Amino acid sequence: MAVNSPALDPEVAAKLQRPLSLAYTAWYCEENIYHLLSQLTLDRRTVGQLYAVFLSNPNRQLPLWCQKSGDDSHNGFICYDYHVIALEICSDKQTLVYDFDSLLPFPAKWDAFAATTIPPLPPSLRLDFARYFHVIEAATFLEGFASDRSHMKWPDGSWKAPPPPHSCISAKDGCNMNLESFISMQPINEQGSTVHGQLMNEEIFIKWVLAGGQS
């Protein structure tokens, strides 16, 4: 699929080529994004606002394309229960997407990601497979996220996928596991607020990104 991208300003374009030394473990997208945002924040290598974004829906059936673990014969299609990416919103239409599991460059331009990874779903799929986006500011995510990796174990205690070599992540308040509260696509009010951030449907999320992160 051809993607016509607007020109990026020089500073943002340079970021597409910057080297990043990052830990990656397949099937642990939330931890990959946590450590990415931690490094970007500490290194101060950003020119925009950083966010963690959890993608899912109430059915835990999330259709994405252009994924490394996806079906090569169907443009990298895969149906996750959830996925996690990072956004860096630099200015209107100059947003970078960090998706460790994407076939796109890392980071990718927003328009390429939108066209290839979250293309519009046909009407017949929108009821059961509609994508929702839980947007959390990076600082909030880094302070509040916790995972003891228990969701990646079978009932007999064996791993569903080999765990990362680093220690489990605990929240600043001492919590050891709250992953479900980030994956949950249930807001706490009619405005879409959550305990950690903001829940958006796909239409609202895309408009929010294109508006430079402004509601």
Q: Select which of 35, 66, 83, 101 is catalytic.
A: 83
Residue 173 resides in a domain? yes
Domain that holds residue 178: 25-210
- The domain tally of the chain equals 1
Residue 172 resides in a domain? yes
163 contact partners, CB below 8 Å, separation of at least 6: 25, 28, 149, 152
CATH number for 180: 3.10.620.10
One-character DSSP codes across 164-209: PSSPPB--TTS-S--HHHHH----SSTT-B-SSSEEEEHHHHHHHH
Q: Select which of 99, 101, 111, 196 is catalytic.
A: 99
Residue 13 resides in a domain? no
Give yes or no for residue 9 having a pLDDT over 50: yes
| CA–CA dist 57, 125 (Å, integer) | 13
Q: Given pLDDT bands bounded at 50, 70 and 90, which one contains residue 33?
A: very high
29 is catalytic: yes
Beta partners for residue 137, in sequence order: 51
Residue 14 resides in a domain? no
Residue 1 resides in a domain? no
Give yes or no for residue 138 having a pLDDT over 50: yes
196 is catalytic: no
Question: Which of these ranges, 5-9, 45-49, 114-118, 140-144, has the smallest mean pLDDT?
Answer: 5-9
Q: What is the mean pLDDT of the chain?
A: 91
Burial of residue 99 (CB within 10 Å: 0-12, 13-18, 19+) is buried
Mean pLDDT of 111-124: 96
Residue 32 resides in a domain? yes
| CA–CA dist 129, 124 (Å, integer) | 9
Give yes or no for residue 189 having a pLDDT over 80: yes
Give yes or no for residue 149 having a pLDDT over 70: yes
Give yes or no for residue 182 having a pLDDT over 90: yes
Query: Which of residues 143 and 15 earns the better pLDDT score?
Result: 143
111 is catalytic: no
Give yes or no for residue 188 having a pLDDT over 70: yes
Round to the nearest angstrom and report the end-to-end CA distance of the chain: 30
Q: What is the pLDDT of residue 5?
A: 46
Residue 167 resides in a domain? yes
Q: Given pLDDT bands bounded at 50, 70 and 90, which one contains residue 215?
A: confident
Two structure tokens written together for 211: 């508006």
The 10s digit of each residue's pLDDT in 37-92 is: 999 998 766 668 999 999 999 999 999 999 999 999 999 999 999 999 999 998 76
Q: Given pLDDT bands bounded at 50, 70 and 90, which one contains residue 3?
A: very low
Give yes or no for residue 4 having a pLDDT over 50: no
Percent of the chain scoring above 70 in pLDDT:
87
Residue 175 resides in a domain? yes
